[in-house]
Amino acid sequence: TAACAVASELAATAPETIASFLAAYADGIEAHSEALASLAHQETGLPAPTRLAATEIPRTFNQLRLAADAVRTRSWSQPIIDTRAGLRSALGSMQKPVLIFGPNNFPLAYNAVAGSDFASAIAARNPVIAKAHPNQPGTTRLLAQIAHRAVLESGLPAATVQMVYHCTSEDGLSLCADPRLGAIGFTGSRAAGLALMAVSEPAGVPFFGELSAINPVLILPGALAGRAHALAQEYFGSCTLGSGQFCTNPGLVIVPEGEDGDAFVSAAARLFAEASPALLLSQGVMESLQRNVAALREAGAQLLGGTAQCSGPGFRFAPSLLGIDAARFLAAPETFQTEAFGPVGLIVRSPDEATTVKIIATLEGSLTGSVYSAEADRDLAQRLAVVLRPHVGRLLSNRMPTGVAVSAAMNHGGPFPSTTQRSFTAVGMPSAIARFAALQCWDHTPDHWLPVELQDSNPLSVWRVVDGVPTQGPLTPA
Amino acid sequence: TAACAVASELAATAPETIASFLAAYADGIEAHSEALASLAHQETGLPAPTRLAATEIPRTFNQLRLAADAVRTRSWSQPIIDTRAGLRSALGSMQKPVLIFGPNNFPLAYNAVAGSDFASAIAARNPVIAKAHPNQPGTTRLLAQIAHRAVLESGLPAATVQMVYHCTSEDGLSLCADPRLGAIGFTGSRAAGLALMAVSEPAGVPFFGELSAINPVLILPGALAGRAHALAQEYFGSCTLGSGQFCTNPGLVIVPEGEDGDAFVSAAARLFAEASPALLLSQGVMESLQRNVAALREAGAQLLGGTAQCSGPGFRFAPSLLGIDAARFLAAPETFQTEAFGPVGLIVRSPDEATTVKIIATLEGSLTGSVYSAEADRDLAQRLAVVLRPHVGRLLSNRMPTGVAVSAAMNHGGPFPSTTQRSFTAVGMPSAIARFAALQCWDHTPDHWLPVELQDSNPLSVWRVVDGVPTQGPLTPA
């Protein structure tokens, strides 16, 4: 109710004011880096200096600054003008609150009250209702306090940003089913996401969910020749980065049968076996990992390296590598795509291209897919890239998927079930803002009704498509 | 199954081949204009020479030709390149079938096997499964035959275009719940649309529904001064065009109390009263219109002009004007937004700006909203345009909403429940194609893996955003 009450005021606010809020909030986060890193470390176990202070916090305030730039330059609004038809269109504010659920694994850069969904929703001039992740109450409270101060300093209405600590499942469901919402941004588990989407969509509330992904990696024979150990190291590094708790974690690797493949697998198995138990985000993550690894093993996956055991102190799990042959994988492909969220990888051995194609055909939608190849694999790599393409949002060549650059050309998104809307990205400015916008057309309206990016004079030199051609200039009378 | 089997072949087809199919199909429709107009007239009662042959058929083949142009020029793909991050993204084929349900009111331009949804889905290189509207079996069969011939002539796989005549509700629901679908395009009733969406979304199949709209029109005092009769004529013309069976029909008009408003209302009432009964699309449309008009009257709407009666021969309804005062409207705003699909209008009289604002606040999302104003209303018009903006997809000034131009700047879309996805348009090339596309990112991949619009050399001079700046040139090495 409070968010709805300020939605139109917010939509009518000068973009410069929105941008100044985003910038002030970014500055506030930067100024509180130390306290945020310390709180987030206490609540997630993620290393404070390297992961949080040096990487995730800068990512968070940079993302807010990029959103501020996008607001100032209107680069997210995609203006189109058809002078003959008298029509102008652009993305504008939905003028409705966006409800955001953040994930457990990024206490800052995806936090419901500070991450990319937040920055995107505010950039599109919508109020935000942020649901704090239960494992990050302190971090989220401090972020919300910094946000609240920046809201007031910028002169925005206080209800622009609201934060909910906790609610029951029932309250969460009725919140999601509220037709006054404009959209929901959700990053989390597939089961929770689908349950919330099932009530939001019938109420007319689009659900932008990022749910789960196994991020397949194909390693081709040429890539392995002489590089099996180096690739095993690269794979191990990516698979255990952040204790394997990334949405772009390489969960499934398809490795050719034969000597080079064997060398890769045994080198990787050794690395997993030698690694110390990895600290996990929470007891829930540990238990779910244990359950899913057990399910994979029960279905026939062999333990190749590591003990697949929990241990202490805290919630730890031994980095572990599982393996399966192609025939068994193909007999139960759904089971073997169970996401083991943590430092656990599954290797499928494939005898030939035809089998690899069959395996790919069974793959559910993922955020990413990688193909490792060398010059000797040139044609095979291209053929498999074509086969893999529709299953993934981002296709990588000779790269592990764990890095997600904040770029206009990024797609942190993908076919269902990796996300629920395959034509949008959750990361990257200005692209991610489009999720929380409404397409608005103006039909023969006076110039002074138009948002500045559609006005004749184009005072901000916004790039817009005029009669089919991108231009930065003003409209010139015919 | 047949559509899935050809999805990857289709996605790998040269865009020129897809374009040549769309062009050949357009030519075929043009060549069969007479037969199509005659069949569609028999099945819908719409006038063959004026509406069908002179307007809707040209719109249909022009739309297919615009889609062909968009395919050739890649104007729909929205390529973005970030040279520093090594990332390139563009919209590409979903490589999954699109299921399309067409409406009863446009037997050609929105036909499931020939309309904008069809052209968009094929332009994005997805197979189409078209569900024929039960009232248009002959028209749809002839269109499908022409399409089938064009498919074979262009060398596309036969299952690129499939057509289903009829299915039970149960079969329709299980079809929509099939996770092998990439998306559903639906134009029709709200009840049917929501029922289908309820099964498609949980299966991961995005539902692009255009459901219903009352398309509010505000008439301000200045606009009425001395023009009450002319505006009444304009309103009557728009409200009864196509027997009132347009999704952009002006169903609700807000008219000021006072003399000028009275003059408008009585002039409009006379026009409705003097009009002959209008031929409707079907018995179902007639019965539903009768039911909804009865519901409006039962709730308190007064009959101002016309008899609100059905009559023959065929399925006819007397053009009728209803009226209600603001207080009664505000007591039951949902009821008074019941869509009376046919030549029926509802006028709400408003005493002042504050009441008009209250009325607008109750309005559900619509495809369009119009504001009629004159220089004397300049400030009031702007204030009300701001209030109306979030409720509608297209905002018009001094225009009735019934014309929908096929333009890149068109938005034939709007907030729920007018559509289910407020950031997409169903009409306008290349914009409408984005609904049936997947965002695809390429991360450090070799140039020969890329679609032509992302390749370094940019041989087709596609406009693309490179490092933030739109350009048509090739990538130049740094």
Q: What is the pLDDT of residues A285-299, one digit of tens each?
A: 999 999 999 999 999
Q: Of the candidates B356, B225, B371, B239, which has an alpha carbon nearest to the alpha carbon of residue A445?
A: B371
What's A241's DSSP letter?
A: G
Residue percentage of chain A with pLDDT more than 90: 99
What burial class does residue B469 get, using C-beta atoms within 10 Å of its C-beta: 0-12 exposed, 13-18 middle, 19+ buried? Answer: exposed
What is the predicted pLDDT for the residue at B478? 55
Residue A476's pLDDT is what?
81
Catalytic, B167? Answer no
Smallest CA–CA distance, residue A309 to chain B, in Å, is 34
> Which of B89, B382, B394 is opposite residue A443, by nearest beta carbon?
B394
Residue B241: what pLDDT? 96
Coil/strand/helix, residue B439: strand
For B293-389, where are the E strands, in sequence order? Answer: 302-305, 310-311, 316-317, 320-325, 344-350, 366-372
- The DSSP output letter for A419 is B
CA B20/CA B26 separation, integer angstroms: 10
Comparing CA positions, the residue from A143, A10, A158, A18 lying closest to residue A74 is A18
For chain A, give me the number of helices (H) and strands (E)? Answer: 15, 20
Contacts of A409 in chain B (CB under 8 A): 80-82, 85, 87-89, 441
Q: Which of B125, B126, B389, B447 should one mutate to test binding to chain A, selecting the residue with the greatest count of A CBs within 10 A?
A: B389
- What are the helix and strand counts (H, E) for chain B? 15, 20
Beta bridge pairs of residue B443: A396, B87
Q: Write out the two tokens for B429.
A: 């090339």
The Cα B455–Cα B461 span in angstroms is: 11
What residues form DSSP beta bridges with B210? Answer: B187, B419
Closest by CA to A251, choosing from A391, A171, A347, A383, is A347
* pLDDT for position B476: 82
Q: How far apart are CA A277 and CA A311, in angstroms?
A: 7
* Upper half-sphere CA count for residue A242 (Cβ side, 13 Å): 22
pLDDT of residue A478: 55
Q: What is the CA radius of gyration of chain B?
A: 24
CB contact under 8 A, A201 and B85: no
Q: Which residues of B touch A85 (CB under 8 A)?
A: 405, 407, 409-410
CA pseudo-torsion sign A416, A421, A424, A428:
negative
Which residues are CB-contacts of B72 (< 8 A; sequence separation ≥ 6)?
B15, B16, B19
Per-residue pLDDT at B312: 87
Known catalytic residue: B375?
Answer: no
What is the H or E stretch that residue A236 is in?
helix A228-240
CB contacts of B206 in chain A (<8 Å) are 420-422
In this structure, what token pair is assigned to residue A408? 């206009």
From the list A82, A179, A448, which residue is nearest B409 (CB)? A82
Best mutation target, B13, B89, B431, to test chain A (most A CBs within 10 A)? B89
- In angstroms, the separation between the Cα of residue B339 and the nearest Cα of chain A is 18
Which of these is catalytic: A43, A56, A176, A210? A210
The answer to whether B93 faces chain A, any CB pair under 8 Å, is yes
Q: What are phi and psi of A229, to 5 degrees?
A: -70, -45
How deeply is B29 buried, as exposed, middle or buried, from its count of CB atoms within 10 A (0-12, 13-18, 19+)?
buried
Best mutation site among A234, A407, A475 for testing chain B: the one with the most B CBs within 10 Å? A407
Q: Which two tokens stand for residue A183?
A: 């959209």
Residue A365 to residue B204, Cβ atoms within 8 A: yes
Candidates B91, B201, B422; nearest CB to A439: B422
Q: What residues contact residue A170 under an 8 Å CB cut-off, 6+ apart?
A: none
Distance from CA of B342 to the nearest CA of A (A): 24
The two structure tokens encoding residue A415: 């076919």
Q: With an 8 Å Cβ cutoff, is B431 touching chain A?
A: yes
Non-local CB neighbours of B35 within 8 Å, separated by 6+ positions:
B142
Q: Residue-wise over A321-342: b if at least 16 C-beta within 10 A, else e?
A: bbbbbbebbbeebebbbbbbbb
Reported residue count of chain B is: 478
Kindly list the averaged pLDDT for each block of 10 residues, start to end, along chain B of length 478: 97 96 98 98 96 97 98 96 98 98 97 98 98 97 98 97 94 97 97 96 96 97 96 98 96 97 98 98 96 97 98 95 98 96 98 98 98 97 98 98 95 97 95 97 98 97 96 85
Residue A312 confidence (pLDDT): 87
Contact B200, B177 (CB under 8 A): yes
- What global pTM score does this model have? 0.97
Q: Is the pLDDT of residue A305 over 90?
A: yes
- Judged by CB atoms closer than 8 Å, whether chains meet at B448 and A382 is answered as yes
Using a 10 angstrom Cβ sphere, with 0-12 exposed, 13-18 middle and 19 or more buried, the burial of residue B270 is: middle
The A residues from 18 to 57 touching B (CB cutoff 8 Å) are none
A85, A91, A417 ranked by CB distance to B409: nearest: A85
The answer to whether residues B129 and B13 touch, using CB atoms and an 8 Å cutoff, is: no
Neighbouring CB atoms inside 10 A of A174's CB total 12
Residues of A in contact with B387 (CB under 8 A): 8
Place A477 in a pLDDT band, splitting at 50, 70 and 90.
low
As for the ipTM of the complex, it is 0.97
The catalytically annotated residue of B43, B176, B234, B247 is: B247
Spatial CB neighbours of A216, under 8 Å, sequence gap ≥ 6: A250, A251, A252, A253, A254, A360, A363, A366, A369, A370, A388, A391, A392
CA distance, residue B195 to nearest chain A CA (Å): 9
B366 near B414, Cβ under 8 Å? yes
Nearest CA in chain A to B463: A470
Tokens 């196994």 correspond to what residue?
A: A214
Distance of alpha carbon A406 from alpha carbon A59, whole angstroms = 8
CA of B449 to nearest chain A CA: how many angstroms apart? 6
- Determine the straight-line distance between the first and last CA of chain B, rounded to whole angstroms: 48
Residues B283-321 as b or e (16 or more Cβ within 10 Å = b)? eebbebbbebbeebeebbbebbbbebebeeeebbbbbbb
